[in-house]
């Protein structure tokens, strides 16, 4: 604690030298805002782990630029110009978006914690903030135009991984970040609010916004060779950012969120462009195991839906997968079903929520989706009538049990094979019970062929997304079917023999 206090006490020294830099940054921002100059920046995006390549493909398809996949799984980076910034909000595979201030591929951390934290403090005043802040302001304008929010304060869901917010105590009144001081001396005197305000009035260049800009710093760190914690890095870096911009720290009602992402020796500093994860976009009625919409989109892209395809989700839960498909791949028709009344009701409510939202925006409210309550192992669907089956199977943790999965998985895979078109049908199945799933596939290998597996992180669990191809074998005529039917006949025969034996015994 003493070292932290010493570091804080040394801050005013460098702060007096960076005063002109703050002034020039503000003038640059105002110049860009007034002239409308087009600048190119790097956008970072967090994506579902395992679907980085899928997200990169979507960026290439919708924005027309090549995305770079980070060493840290679950992140991609791509360039974009400010005149095309609105396009980043059309991406369906990304959870959170941020504009990169600076990135270091091989950052050399000091050996001692004190030296490292001091270096992070000094880094804040050396970063090229101007373009990133301009993009943040433009993004804020775009979101207001689209009605994403009414004000600047919003709460943001913490991203996965170790994260911490910079808890910087500050009770003094501070000037807005756009305000310009007349000289380096006046910049160094920003501890006194009245003096700062008077200097703004004298210069006549005060920003139009009267409120103080609020911020927080979030540190996401991965790696075991760091001498500091995420909380310490966020606290010290956040303190330096506060000294540099004269912003006010607020952990919940912040206007701007500065990100400090550290993955081993890779360091990326950015400014968040999303207030909460985009994976919540479709669901209003959540269940115990609701899938993220971004993960649903990745699963849908795996099976490449075509026009007029019939797509089935036999264990729909809250309807996250068919809803995402009906919105993004709306040339196909989706049938969602579950054996629990509550799950079916949640799906219906989520569909109604999307329809109402579309109607309020003036769009056609209809969606190519229907909902049914059914028995998974006895679907009321004709044989060989479904093109694609895509579902989130029970992991055996929060829903069902591992023991029940050993009976459920083979049964549902057989029923899926029955309704799926031989030779052309596909299935995309998500499960964390990998051992049980592999055994079930091996038992009915004549009906399904495994093409590809994507390993993903689902709520901290290591799960697999399996892409299966329906073989050309006719259901009911494979060796596995013959074996199964013989087993059924033998079981029935054994039951009959046991019954006759019991009758004879009772007669004796």
Four-point Cα dihedral 88, 90, 93, 99, nearest 10: 20
162-165 and 248-249 strand pairing: unpaired
Residue 373 has pLDDT above 60, yes or no: yes
Number of neighbouring beta carbons within 10 Å of residue 193:
13
What's the whole-number mean pLDDT along residues 27-44?
A: 65
Residue 347 has pLDDT above 50, yes or no: yes
Q: Are the C-beta atoms of residues 355 and 364 closer than 8 Å to each other?
A: no
pLDDT at res. 200: 40
pLDDT tier, 255 (very low <50, low <70, confident <90, very high otherwise): very high
Residue 57 has pLDDT above 90, yes or no: yes
More confident residue, 175 or 389: 389
Extract the tokens encoding 390: 């895509």
Positions of CATH 3.30.2130.30 in the chain:
39-144+212-278
Longest Cα–Cα distance in the chain: 115
Least confident of 138-142, 189-193, 426-430, 473-477: 189-193
Look-up of token digits 């993955």: 263
Half-sphere exposure in the Cβ direction for 353 (13 Å, CA): 17
- How does pLDDT run across 112-168, given as a tens digit for each residue? 999 999 999 999 999 999 999 999 999 988 876 655 443 444 444 444 444 444 444
214-222 and 369-373 strand pairing: unpaired
Fold topology of 293-488: Rossmann fold (3.40.50)
* Whole-number Å distance between alpha carbons of 458 and 48: 8
Least confident of 105-114, 390-399, 486-495: 486-495
Least confident of 168-177, 367-376, 458-467, 474-483: 168-177
pLDDT tier, 459 (very low <50, low <70, confident <90, very high otherwise): confident
Fold topology of 39-144+212-278: VC0802-like (3.30.2130)
Least confident of 134-148, 193-207, 329-343, 429-443: 193-207
pLDDT tier, 190 (very low <50, low <70, confident <90, very high otherwise): very low
310-313 and 333-338 strand pairing: parallel
pLDDT at res. 214: 94
Residue 177 has pLDDT above 50, yes or no: no
Q: Rounded to whole angstroms, what are the CA distances from 379 to 338, 351, 405?
A: 10, 22, 18
Q: Are the C-beta atoms of residues 266 and 105 closer than 8 Å to each other?
A: yes
Provide CB contacts within 8 A for 481, sequence distance 6+.
Answer: 446, 475
pLDDT tier, 501 (very low <50, low <70, confident <90, very high otherwise): very low
Residue 73 has pLDDT above 90, yes or no: no
Q: Are the C-beta atoms of residues 468 and 424 closer than 8 Å to each other?
A: no
Positions of CATH 3.40.50.150 in the chain:
293-488
- How does pLDDT run across 433-445, given as a tens digit for each residue? 899 999 999 888 7
pLDDT tier, 203 (very low <50, low <70, confident <90, very high otherwise): very low
pLDDT at res. 195: 39
pLDDT at res. 275: 84
Extract the tokens encoding 320: 């996250």
End-to-end CA distance of the chain: 89
* Eight-class DSSP state of 72: S
Sign of the C-alpha dihedral, residues 202, 192, 208, 87?
Answer: positive
pLDDT tier, 225 (very low <50, low <70, confident <90, very high otherwise): confident
């Amino acid at each position: 604690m003493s070292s932290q206090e010493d570091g804080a006490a040394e801050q005013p020294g460098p702060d007096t030298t960076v005063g002109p830099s703050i002034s020039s940054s503000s003038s640059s921002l105002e110049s860009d805002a007034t002239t409308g100059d087009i600048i190119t920046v790097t956008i970072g995006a967090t994506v579902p782990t395992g679907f980085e390549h899928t997200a990169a493909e979507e960026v290439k398809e919708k924005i027309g630029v090549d995305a770079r996949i980070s060493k840290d799984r679950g992140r991609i980076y791509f360039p974009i110009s400010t005149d095309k910034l609105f396009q980043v909000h059309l991406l369906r595979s990304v959870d959170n978006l941020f504009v990169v201030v600076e990135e270091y591929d091989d950052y050399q951390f000091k050996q001692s914690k004190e030296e490292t934290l001091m270096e992070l403090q000094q880094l804040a005043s050396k970063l090229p903030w101007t373009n990133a802040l301009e993009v943040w302001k433009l993004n804020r304008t775009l979101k207001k135009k689209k009605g994403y929010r009414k004000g600047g304060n919003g709460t943001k869901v913490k991203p996965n991984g170790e994260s911490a917010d910079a808890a910087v105590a500050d009770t003094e009144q501070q000037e807005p970040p756009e305000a310009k001081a007349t000289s380096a001396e006046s910049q160094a005197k920003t501890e006194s609010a009245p003096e700062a305000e008077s200097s703004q009035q004298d210069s006549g260049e005060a920003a139009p916004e009267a409120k103080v800009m609020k911020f927080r710093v979030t540190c996401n760190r991965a790696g075991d060779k760091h001498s500091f914690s995420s909380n310490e890095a966020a606290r010290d870096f956040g303190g330096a950012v506060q000294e540099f911009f004269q912003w006010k720290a607020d952990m919940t009602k912040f206007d701007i969120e500065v990100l400090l992402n550290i993955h081993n020796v890779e360091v990326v500093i950015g400014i968040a462009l999303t207030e909460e994860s985009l994976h919540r976009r479709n669901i209003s009625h959540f269940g115990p195991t609701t899938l993220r919409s971004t993960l649903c989109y990745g699963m849908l892209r795996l099976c490449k839906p075509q026009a007029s395809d019939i797509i089935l989700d036999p264990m729909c839960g809250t309807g996250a997968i068919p809803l995402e498909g009906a919105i993004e791949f709306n040339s196909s028709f989706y049938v969602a079903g579950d054996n629990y009344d509550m799950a079916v009701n949640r799906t219906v409510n989520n569909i109604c929520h999307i329809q109402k939202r579309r109607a309020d925006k003036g769009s056609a409210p209809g969606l190519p989706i229907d909902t049914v309550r059914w028995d998974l192992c006895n679907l009321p669907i004709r044989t060989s009538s479904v093109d694609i089956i895509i579902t989130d199977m029970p992991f055996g943790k929060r829903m069902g049990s591992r023991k029940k999965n050993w009976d459920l998985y083979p049964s549902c895979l057989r029923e899926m094979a029955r309704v799926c078109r031989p030779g052309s049908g596909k299935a995309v199945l998500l499960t964390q019970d990998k051992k049980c799933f592999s055994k079930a596939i091996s038992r009915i290998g004549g009906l399904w062929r495994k093409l590809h597996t994507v390993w993903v992180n689902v709520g901290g669990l290591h799960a697999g997304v399996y892409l299966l191809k329906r073989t050309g074998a006719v259901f009911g005529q494979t060796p596995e079917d013959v074996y199964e039917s013989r087993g059924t006949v033998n079981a029935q025969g054994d039951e009959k023999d046991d019954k006759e034996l019991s009758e004879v015994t009772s007669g004796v």
